[in-house]
Structure 1
C-alpha cells in the first residue's frame, strides 16, 4: 500500500487523491494549507511520517505528494481553484466518487480535460527527443533524470499558471500583463511606465507601454482572458485598427487561450504597424522566465569533485 522511506512508510501521491476530494466534499472550499492539514488528519498520518523530508531540499514528502495529487486532479477537472491559493471540487469529482474505491492515475485519463491537457503537452514536446516519456532510467545518467524531472515540473507549472489566469477577473488579468512587460524590461523596467486605460470606448486598447524611460515611443497592449475561445483574426484586425488610429506603430496582443490560424497569418502579414501575438503558453513561460507570479521553491546544490585540488597543483 505504501512506499518505504527508510523504516517509515508513506502513501504514494495517488493515494492522496480520494482523501483530498473527500475533505473538500465535507468542508467545501478550503485554502491550500487547510486542505493539506485536513488530508493529513483524514489519512491519520503520524508525526514520524510527517517528519520525513526530501534529502535534496528538506521539504515535507507528504505535503509534496498531496500537492502533486491536487495538480493531477486539477488537470482532470476534478478539482478547481476558485481563487488564488484555494481548492474546491471540480465538475468531474462526482465521477471519481462513483468508483467507490481509491483513485488511480488511470482513472483520470478518460476525462476530456485530462486528454486536452495531455494533447497540449504532447504537441509542445512532439519534436523533442528528450521528452520525459522517452527517458530510460537504465540508459540515462543522473543528470539526464534531473533534467527530465525539471522539465516535467516546469510543464506542470505552466499548466497551473494557465489555470489561475483563466479564473482571474479580466481587469486583473490586464494588470498581470502590465506587470509582466516591465519585468521584461519595457518602460525601463518600471511599472509606473505602464498605463492602464480607463473602462469605456477605448477602441480595443487595454494598456499603453512606454518603450523607453522618457516615453518617446509607445506600445499598445490588448489582453483577452479567455477560458476556451481562440482569438479570431477579426479581433486582431480591430486591435490593429485601434493602434493605427491612435498613431501607434507597435502592439502586443496577449491571451490566455490561443490565436486562430487566420489571426496568426494576419499578424505575420503586416510589417507596419508591427504586432506580436502572445498566447497562454508563451505568457506562462515569460512569467516563469522573468519571475512574475511564481516563487523559487527550492535550489538543489549538486557538487562534483575538484580535480585541481587532488592534482597537487595547489599550495
Structure 2
C-alpha cells in the first residue's frame, strides 16, 4: 500500500489553500489539498477497511476538525471551510503543523476543559489511549468516543449560528424525539414574541393540554446564563400556573443559576447546557445522519463444536 500522510500533515496545506483561494466548499477544499500535495491517484484510491471511503479524504476531514476546535478554521455555512482567527498564527510557524501546536490556543483549552468536566475519570482521555496496552475493542471504543466528542462539538458550533427562532424550534424537536408531548411535535407550540416572561414554548403532557411543560431556549455563543435569567423564567412559570420547566442553552449556566435550580422543589426545573443538548441530539437522532455502520464479526464456536 502506498504511504499516506498522517492527518496532521494535511493541516498546513488546508490552511494555505483557504488563504490563497478564500472560503471553499468542503469538497473543493479537499480536492485542492490533494492537488497541492501532489498526491497520486494510487494514494487517493486507498480506502478505509471499515467503510471503503478514501483514506486521504478522511484524514483531511479530521485535520479540518482539529483546526476547527483550535479556532483556525470556521464553517461560514453548511459544508464550507474558511480561515478562523487563529489560522494566521499557525501559518506564521512556516513549518508543518502538529497537533501539539493547537494546544496553546484558548479555544482548544476551553474545548478540552469542557470535555474534562463531562468525562468520567476512570474512562481516560480517548485521545491519549495507549495502543500497546489496549485490546482492539478498547481502540474501537476510544475511536467511537472521539468521533462522538467531535460530532457534539460540531453540533454546538452549528447551533450557535442558528437564528434564535430556529433554535427554539430545534429544542422542541429534541423534546419531541425524547417522548415529551407523547412524542408528537403537534403537542408543542412556540410562543409569539411579547411580554411572555421568557417562555419560548409550551408542551402539552396530555391531549387536552391540562398539564404543560414550559420551555425557554437561549442561543448564546459565549455568555453563561445567569441566576437572574433562571429566576425570571421560574417567575413566568409560576405566573402561568405551570409546575414543570426546561431551560435550554447552547452555552453554560453559572454556578449560582445551577444552585438556584437545585434549591427549588415546586415548580420543578431542569437546566440543559450546550453539551448536554448535543448529547441528547446524538442519542435521539436529531440533526444528525448515520454515516456508516461497521460490521465486526467473531468466530462461531457453536459451528466448530457442532461435531463434538
Matched residue of 1:87: which SS? strand
Partners of 1:250 and 1:96 in 2: CA distance = 48
In structure 2, the partner of 1:237 is 231
* Residues 184 and 313 of structure 1, relative CA distance in 2, 3 Å threshold: farther
* Residues 178 and 129 of structure 1, relative CA distance in 2, 3 Å threshold: closer
In structure 2, the partner of 1:187 is 181
Matched residue of 2:133: which SS? coil
* Residues 15 and 135 of structure 1, relative CA distance in 2, 3 Å threshold: closer
Asked if 1:88 corresponds to 2:88, the answer is: no
In structure 1, the partner of 2:218 is 224
Partners of 2:99 and 2:179 in 1: CA distance = 42
Choose which of 23, 29, 34 in structure 1 pairs with 2:23.
29
Partners of 1:44 and 1:62 in 2: CA distance = 12
1:277 offset after TM fit, Å?
0.3
Asked if 1:292 corresponds to 2:254, the answer is: no
Show structure 1 runs of 5+ residues with no match.
Answer: 1-5
Asked if 1:246 corresponds to 2:243, the answer is: no
Partners of 1:220 and 1:85 in 2: CA distance = 34
Q: Deviations over 1:163-185 (max 9, x none)?
A: 11112222221121111111111
Task: State the aligned residue count.
Answer: 308
1:227 offset after TM fit, Å?
1.3
Instruction: Give the root-mean-square deviation of aligned CA atoms.
Output: 1.7
In structure 2, the partner of 1:177 is 171
Question: Are 1:30 and 1:88, in contact at CA under 8 Å, matched by a contact in 2?
Answer: yes
Partners of 2:279 and 2:296 in 1: CA distance = 25
Matched residue of 1:209: which SS? strand
Partners of 1:97 and 1:259 in 2: CA distance = 35
Asked if 1:63 corresponds to 2:76, the answer is: no
1:38 offset after TM fit, Å?
2.1
Question: Are 1:186 and 1:212, in contact at CA under 8 Å, matched by a contact in 2?
Answer: no
In structure 2, the partner of 1:257 is 251
1:130 offset after TM fit, Å?
4.0
Runs of 4+ in 1 over 3 A off after TM superposition: none
Q: Deviations over 1:55-88 (max 9, x none)?
A: 1111111111011111110111111112222211
Question: Are 1:83 and 1:167, in contact at CA under 8 Å, matched by a contact in 2?
Answer: no
1:263 offset after TM fit, Å?
0.7
Question: Are 2:127 and 2:146, in contact at CA under 8 Å, matched by a contact in 1?
Answer: no
1:217 offset after TM fit, Å?
1.7
Question: Are 1:231 and 1:263, in contact at CA under 8 Å, matched by a contact in 2?
Answer: yes
1:211 offset after TM fit, Å?
2.1
Choose which of 126, 130, 150 in structure 2 pairs with 1:132.
126
Question: Are 2:181 and 2:203, in contact at CA under 8 Å, matched by a contact in 1?
Answer: yes
Partners of 2:174 and 2:55 in 1: CA distance = 33
| TM-score (norm. length: structure 1) | 0.93
* Residues 36 and 218 of structure 1, relative CA distance in 2, 3 Å threshold: same
Partners of 1:25 and 1:218 in 2: CA distance = 52
Matched residue of 2:3: which SS? strand
Partners of 1:213 and 1:83 in 2: CA distance = 39
| TM-score (norm. length: structure 2) | 0.95
